[in-house]
Amino acid sequence: MCLSMLSPQMQIICCIQTLLLLGAQLALSIPNNFFYHDFRKGNGKKEIHFSGVKLHVDSPQPSVFAVTGDNVTLPCRFWYEPELSSPREPRVKWSWQPAGGGHETDVLVAIGSRSRSFWDFRGRVQIRQDFPGDAALVMTNLMLNDTGRYHCEVVDGLEDESISVYLDLRGVVFPYQHPRGHYHLSFMGAQQACEEQASTLATFSQLFQSWKEGLNWCNAGWLADETVQYPMTRPRVPCGGDSLAPGVRSYGRRHLHLHRYDVFCFSSTLQGKVYYLQPSHSMNLTEAQQTCQEDGAEVAKVGQLYAAWKLTGLDRCDAGWLADGSVRYPITRPRRNCGPSEPGVRSFGFPPPQHKHGVYCYKSGDE
């Protein structure tokens, strides 16, 4: 407000106006008897004084891990200090910012026992209210795309306090290439490819975690934040040179339509069961589809095979068809004649559909 290019006299006038404005704000607050002060603490907790009473909000658990299909509780509680003689019903609002960025959207708003939920969260969320000040969000039937930062905001009059709880899924990151070949996917195509294989675009933190667990992949793939990266644990010449340190290498953000890469997908859950079937004879792709159908199942998707491998330890040294027309097999206990010495899902790529193999079927889960 007090611009230095103004003359000294003008600056003084300007500054007096600022003081008057501040005075007016102060005067406004006095009739309501509010003393307003924001203490920011290093640990992310915030406190506000009003009428000598402080509203506190915190969460005993700043991040929550789950698998899809779970019911989860995102903890959040509020209290007043000193304790109030009569109970108050502040407004509690939960909002969500998807993993990988994007707009924050409302999840639920509640006052006392009344609440309203929004969007895909409708009917799946409620406030727990197990004790006074319990504002934990209970979410049922967790979906792959529910991950991200959840914001618990408590509003009481002029007081407005909030904390964040991160929701992440236990699962597995896998590199995926389009059936038509290497580096074939735009960002939208990558998103679709993951969805078709019962998975979602991996986030950077999921890829980073997988890299720490040993994921070594030489082809660059899209991530949820629209960047293109690849994880290297053993640098070598065809993968950017052997002089570079191991790490997750990034090409940065790429053009969403023009640039084409592979993709890193993320799969969680198993609400169903993945199993190998091989009748007396091997099957081409059409016969494999029929065989699973006749068994009351469908051909497993790549994300389902990876989840079964990682989360339930599926181990089978037999190559089988999958829904995308690829042929793979899952190994948790590496042994001779079953591929490399590390556990993994081995792939034979996309053979011609008339080739003969077994099949991995998926039966969805309540039985």
Ligand X SMILES: *[C@@H]1O[C@H](CO)[C@@H](O)[C@H](O)[C@H]1NC(C)=O
Q: Which residues bind ligand X (CB under 6 A)?
A: 69-71, 120, 140, 143, 145, 284-287, 353-354
The dihedrals phi and psi of 100, each to the nearest 5 degrees, come to: 85, 5
CB closer to ligand X, 284 vs 347: 284
| Comparison of 46 and 151: residue with beta carbon closer to ligand X | 151
Least distance to ligand X from the beta carbon of 327, Å?
A: 13
Which lies closer to ligand X via its Cβ, residue 337 or residue 354? 354
Closest CB to ligand X among residues 17, 286: 286
Q: How far is it, in rounded angstroms, from Cα 137 to Cα 145?
A: 17
Q: Provide, rounded to whole angstroms, the least separation between the CB of residue 1 and ligand X.
A: 42
Residue 306 beta carbon to ligand X: minimum distance, rounded to whole angstroms: 17
Name the residue with tokens 């039985």.
367
For the bound state, the minimum distance from the C-beta of residue 123 to ligand X, rounded and expressed in Å, comes to: 11
Task: Name every residue whose Cβ is closer than 8 Å to that of residue 250 and which is 6 or more positions away in sequence.
Answer: 227, 228, 229
The count of residues in the chain is: 367
Provide, rounded to whole angstroms, the least separation between the CB of residue 287 and ligand X: 5
Q: Assess contact for 121 and 105: CB atoms under 8 A.
A: no
Residue 321 or 360 with smaller CB distance to ligand X: 321
Shortest distance in whole angstroms from residue 333 CB to ligand X: 29
Residue nearest to ligand X (CB): 354
Which value, to the nearest 10 degrees, does the dihedral of the CA atoms of residues 150, 156, 161, 163 take?
-30
Place of tokens 């895909």: 120
Q: How far is residue 242 CA from its own chain's centroid? A: 32
**Min separation Cβ 300 and ligand X, Å:** 17
Smallest gap from Cβ 138 to ligand X, in A, equals 8
What would the DSSP string read from start to end of 68-125? TT--EEE--EEEEESPPSS----EEEEEEEETT----EEEEEEETTEEEE-GGGTTTE
Residue carrying structure tokens 């330890």: 313
Determine the Cα–Cα distance for residues 315 and 62; give it in Å rounded to an integer.
Answer: 35
How many C-alpha atoms does 187 have within 13 Å on its Cβ side? 14
**Looking at beta carbons only, is 278 or 284 nearer to ligand X?**
284
Q: Which is nearer to ligand X, 129 or 145 (CB)?
A: 145
Chain centre distance of CA 21: 45
